[in-house]
Structure 1
C-alpha cells in the first residue's frame, strides 16, 4: 500500500503573503488535496472579491493620505532648511566684515599704544594735538569693545542658526523616509487589488467597474449650485462638477486628475479658499456641522480614521474621487461609514 505524503508548503513572504492573505479573506480558491480524495474549495464569488478589493482600496487610501501629509511636511521642512541656510550665509558675510573692521581697529591701537600716555605727552611737540589724538584713541577703544561684543553676538547667532538647520535637516530626512514607506504601502495595496481583479472574468470585472459610475458624466443634474449657502460654496460645487469623469490618481491635486482630498482642496481653491492637504487636517479647517444640517459645499468625511472626503452637493449626494479605476463621480453619502462634516465658509 502506497503512502501518500502531503507536500511541504513554503511560507509566503512579501507581496505573495499579502496577496495570499487577501485571497483567503475573499474566500479564494486554494486547492487542498485531502488523503484519498480530490476536493477543491469553492471558487470565491465576485461579491467576496469586490469586498476584498474595496478593503485594499481603503487601505491604499489611508496610506495615500499619510503620504500626502508626509509630502506636505517634507516640503515645509525643505523650505525652512533653505531659508535657514540662506540666513546663515548672510550672517556669515556680515560676521566676516565685522571681523575685518575689528582687525583694523586692533592694528591701529597697537601702532599707537606702545608708549605710556604720560611719556607720549612729554615727548609730543604739540600737546594739544596729542590730547586730540588721545581722545580719538579712547573713542576707538570704546568702538573696539563694541565691535568685539558685536562679533561675539554674531558668532552665537550663527551657531544657533546652524543648530536649527541641523534639526530641520533631520526632520526632512524623517519625512522623506515616511514618504518612501507610505508610497510602498500604497503601491503594494493597489497591486494586490489588481491581482484580485484579474481573477474575475471580463464580464464580472466590467460589471464591477461599472458600479457607481453611471453618474460620472458632466451632464448629470447639477444639485447644489443654486442651493449653496454662499457664492464661494457654489463655486466649489461648480468646480467639482467640472471634474466629473477625471481619473483618480493617488497624490494628485489636479487639474487633470485627483485623489479624494486633492479634489476637495482644488474645489475650494477655485473659490479663493486655501484648504490643508489631507483629510485629517481638512476636517478641522472649518466649523463642524451635524449630518442633519449639511449644505452644498460642505466637506463630508468617512471611516473612523477620517481617510476619505467628498464635497456635498445636496439631496444626500456628494462628488468625490473614489479610488484608482473609478473616476470622479457623484455618489450617495450613505455608501461609506460617515465620520463627520465641516463647513469651510
Structure 2
C-alpha cells in the first residue's frame, strides 16, 4: 500500500514570499525617507545664519548685562554679610569679656562672704531670663550696675547683628540664584549661536569669522548680499570723519581713551573686566577707572552715571549706548567712532557708532 504523504511546499515559494515582504518594507521605508526629506527645512543661507547669529549674540549680551548686575549685587550682599558677621564676632568677644569681668567680681564677693543677687542674675545660663530681670541690677553697687548694663547692651547688639546677618544671607542666596539663571541664559544663547555657525561650510565660516574680526557689516552674508551692506557703514564713516578729529574735553576723558586704546585687540569674554579680556561695560568701567572715575558695572546703570548728552553733542570720552534695552556700550573717541568690546570672536576695536542702533549717550568725569 502506498504511503500517504503531505504535499511538499516549494522552498522557492517560501523564499519568494520572504523576499517580497522584505522588498515591500524597504520600499515603504524608502518612500518614508523621501517623503520626509521632501518636507525637510532647506539649508539656511549664510545671510540667514548671520542674521540669526547676530540676534542671538545681541540677546546673549543683554543676558550678560543682567548677569553683571546680579553679580554686582551678590558681591555687595556678600561683603555686607561678611562685615556683619565680623562685627557680631567682635561684639560676642566683648560680651564674653564683660561676663568674665562680672564673674571675677562674683568670685571676689563670694570669698568675702556673699554673692549679690544681681550678680547671680548676670551669671545665669539663660540670657533671656537675665534680661527680663535685669532691673534688679539697681540693688548692686554702681560698679556692678554699670558692668551689668554693659553686658545687656552687648547682648542686645549681638542679637541684632545676628538677625541682620541672617537677612543679608537670604539676600545673598537670592542674588546667587539670579546669577545662576542669567549665566545659564548667556550660555544657552552662545551655544545656539555656535550651533548655527556650525551649519556653514568651512569656506563660509572662515569668511564669516574674518569679516567679524575685521568689523565688517556683511560677515557671512557678504557673498549673498554683495557690497551694499557695508556701503551704508562706509558712508556713515565718511560723514562722521568730515567733522574732523576732536580733542578730549578733559584730562580724565583723555586718560580713559588712552587706556581703551591700549586694550585694542584683546578678546571679548562675557562677564570680564580685564586686564586680559573684557565685555562691553567691563571695558568702559575699566577705562574710566584708569582715569580716576568709578562707574557702575552694567550698561543700564552706566547710562545714568553722568549727564545725558545728545548725539550731536558727543565729545571724546562720552559713553555711547545701543539697542532699545541699553545692552551695549562703547567709549566715544570722536569722528563718529568708538572703542568697544563687540562680542565673542570679535576683539576690542575701533568701530563707527552707526554700526548698531543708537540709544543714547552719557558724559562722565
Q: TM-score range by the shorter chain?
A: 0.7 to 0.9
For residue 110 of structure 1, report the CA deviation from its aligned partner: 5.8
SS of structure 1 residue aligned to 2:38: strand
* Aligned CA distance change for structure 1 residues 177 and 273 (closer, same or farther; 3 Å): same
Q: Comparing both structures, which one devotes a greater share of its residues to helix?
A: 2
Q: Aligned equivalents of 1:303 and 1:257: distance in 2?
A: 23
Q: Aligned equivalents of 1:32 and 1:184: distance in 2?
A: 38
Counterpart pick for 1:241 among 261, 285, 291: 261
**1:267 maps onto 2:284 in alignment:** no
For residue 103 of structure 1, report the CA deviation from its aligned partner: 2.9
Structure 2 partner of 1:339: 359
Q: Aligned equivalents of 1:42 and 1:258: distance in 2?
A: 37
* Aligned CA distance change for structure 1 residues 161 and 192 (closer, same or farther; 3 Å): same
The answer to whether the 8 A contact 2:212-2:345 is kept is no
Q: Aligned equivalents of 2:52 and 2:43: distance in 1?
A: 14
Query: CA-atom RMSD, angstroms?
Result: 3.0
Counterpart pick for 1:319 among 335, 339, 342: 339
Counting only pairs closer than 5 Å after superposition, residues 172-187 of structure 1 correspond to structure 2 as: 172-187=172-187
Structure 2 partner of 1:165: 165
Q: Aligned equivalents of 2:104 and 2:175: distance in 1?
A: 47
The answer to whether the 8 A contact 2:246-2:335 is kept is no
Q: Aligned equivalents of 2:101 and 2:325: distance in 1?
A: 61
* Aligned CA distance change for structure 1 residues 276 and 225 (closer, same or farther; 3 Å): farther
* Aligned CA distance change for structure 1 residues 196 and 310 (closer, same or farther; 3 Å): same
**1:228 maps onto 2:248 in alignment:** yes
Structure 2 partner of 1:276: 296
* Aligned CA distance change for structure 1 residues 32 and 87 (closer, same or farther; 3 Å): farther
SS of structure 1 residue aligned to 2:35: strand
For residue 328 of structure 1, report the CA deviation from its aligned partner: 1.0
Counting only pairs closer than 5 Å after superposition, residues 110-121 of structure 1 correspond to structure 2 as: none
Structure 1 partner of 2:232: none
Q: Deviations over 1:217-244 (max 9, x none)?
A: xxxxxx9986111111111112222211
For residue 57 of structure 1, report the CA deviation from its aligned partner: 0.6
Q: Aligned equivalents of 1:317 and 1:336: distance in 2?
A: 12
SS of structure 2 residue aligned to 1:33: helix
Number of positions where the alignment pairs a residue of Structure 1 with one of Structure 2: 293
**1:86 maps onto 2:86 in alignment:** yes
Q: TM-score, normalised by structure 1?
A: 0.77
User: 5+ unaligned residues in a row in structure 1: which ranges?
Assistant: 9-30, 115-137, 217-222
Q: Aligned equivalents of 1:74 and 1:335: distance in 2?
A: 34
SS of structure 2 residue aligned to 1:340: strand
Q: TM-score, normalised by structure 2?
A: 0.73
Q: Deviations over 1:248-295 (max 9, x none)?
A: 011111111110011111111121211111111111111111111011
For residue 106 of structure 1, report the CA deviation from its aligned partner: 4.0
Q: Aligned equivalents of 2:291 and 2:39: distance in 1?
A: 62
The answer to whether the 8 A contact 1:78-1:172 is kept is yes
Structure 2 partner of 1:129: none
Instruction: Specify the structure having the higher radius of gyration (Cα).
Output: 2
The answer to whether the 8 A contact 2:246-2:315 is kept is no
Structure 2 partner of 1:58: 58
Structure 1 partner of 2:3: none
* Aligned CA distance change for structure 1 residues 40 and 93 (closer, same or farther; 3 Å): closer
Structure 1 partner of 2:77: 77
The answer to whether the 8 A contact 1:60-1:185 is kept is yes
Structure 2 partner of 1:24: none
Q: Which of 59-68 and 96-105 deviates more?
A: 96-105
The answer to whether the 8 A contact 1:248-1:327 is kept is yes
SS of structure 2 residue aligned to 1:211: helix
For residue 105 of structure 1, report the CA deviation from its aligned partner: 3.2
The answer to whether the 8 A contact 1:309-1:320 is kept is yes
Q: Aligned equivalents of 2:73 and 2:310: distance in 1?
A: 30
The answer to whether the 8 A contact 1:287-1:343 is kept is yes
The answer to whether the 8 A contact 1:225-1:234 is kept is no
Structure 2 partner of 1:210: 210
**1:302 maps onto 2:284 in alignment:** no
Structure 1 partner of 2:197: 197
The answer to whether the 8 A contact 2:341-2:349 is kept is yes
Structure 2 partner of 1:42: 42
The answer to whether the 8 A contact 1:212-1:331 is kept is no
